Amino acid sequence: MAAPTITILYNNSQNDSPNTGGSSGDTNWKPIDLINDKIAFLGNGTSNDDANTSKDAFKIPESGSVEVPKQFINSYYESKWKRVYLAGSDADDGLGGNYRYAYGAYIDGTTNSVPILQAWDSNDLDSYEIQVLGSGTPDSSMLKAVATTNAAPGSEWEGTSLAGDGGLNSVALDSGPIGASKMIYWNMRLVIPNTATPFATSPVLCVYVTYS
């Protein structure tokens, strides 16, 4: 078999429901243009369908750690911020919650092992030195994710700190290999500690698969 075709989608609705449209999405789920679109973590002042010519940046908290309240797709085609309403947790002042269907990947084909979600500094996919990913300490990564393919993440879910391909800092997106084309899902959040310094950065998320 060849490498499976992987389409990344997001839920642009407030309905916690699965994607019924495969790689094309449905009325709730939209495919991400992997060349031009970007996932963005923004402050409360940005809303769905706002023009992407401006944005409300999140402010580093004065104490403790706080989740960035809103997540969007910067839609190149529409030139708008498209909100991923159900993304994030309700922990650390987040505006998300116990939601199962925020982000997903349609795996068209099969895999030999479970797909894994990873995060890296750049497209070289070989380092995690930027501050957002823990400055080389994976457990300190501010980016956290949870697999939701088979269950909701639970109230005030914390998520796994994403950085590199270490077993403890990546997320298995299903319970085993993909035997037939299907959707797999995750939710994620960005938690900023008061010790952070201002940043604007673009870590690279990726899905690791095996095929034969």
Partner 1 sequence: MEKKSIYRVTFQDDENYEGGTFEYPGWNKCPDKPIKSLELVLPNDQDIIRLENYQKYNFFIGARKPLNSQTVVLGHMYGLGCNNNIVTSYRITVISSMGNKYKVGDITVRKFPFGKEGIRRTATTGWKGGII
Q: How far is the CB of 170 from partner 1 (least distance, A)?
A: 7
Give one word for 204, left, alpha or beta, with left for phi > 0 and alpha for psi -120 to 50. Answer: beta
Q: How far is the CB of 159 from partner 1 (least distance, A)?
A: 16
Are 103 and 72 in contact, with CB atoms under 8 Å apart? no
Q: Is residue 29 classed as helix, strand or coil in its secondary structure?
A: strand
Beta-carbon count within 10 A of 11 CB: 28
Q: Measure the CA–CA gap between 96 and 21, rounded to whole angstroms.
A: 24
Residue among 16 and 211 whose Cβ is closer to partner 1: 211
Residue among 179 and 198 whose Cβ is closer to partner 1: 179
Strand partners, 172: 116
Residue among 130 and 209 whose Cβ is closer to partner 1: 209
Are 28 and 17 in contact, with CB atoms under 8 Å apart? yes
Q: Measure the CA–CA gap between 102 and 148, rounded to whole angstroms.
A: 9
Q: Is residue 45 classed as helix, strand or coil in its secondary structure?
A: coil
Are 84 and 11 in contact, with CB atoms under 8 Å apart? yes
Residue among 91 and 188 whose Cβ is closer to partner 1: 188
**Which residues of the shown chain bind partner 1 in the complex (CB under 8 A)?**
1-3, 6, 8, 32, 34-35, 38-39, 110, 112-114, 116, 118, 123-127, 165, 167, 170, 172, 176-177, 179, 202, 204-212
The burial of 50, by beta-carbon neighbours within 10 Å (0-12 exposed, 13-18 middle, 19 or more buried), is given as: middle
Residue among 86 and 207 whose Cβ is closer to partner 1: 207
Q: How far is the CB of 63 from partner 1 (least distance, A)?
A: 33
Q: How far is the CB of 32 from partner 1 (least distance, A)?
A: 7
Residue among 66 and 117 whose Cβ is closer to partner 1: 117
Q: How far is the CB of 175 from partner 1 (least distance, A)?
A: 8
Q: How far is the CB of 112 from partner 1 (least distance, A)?
A: 4
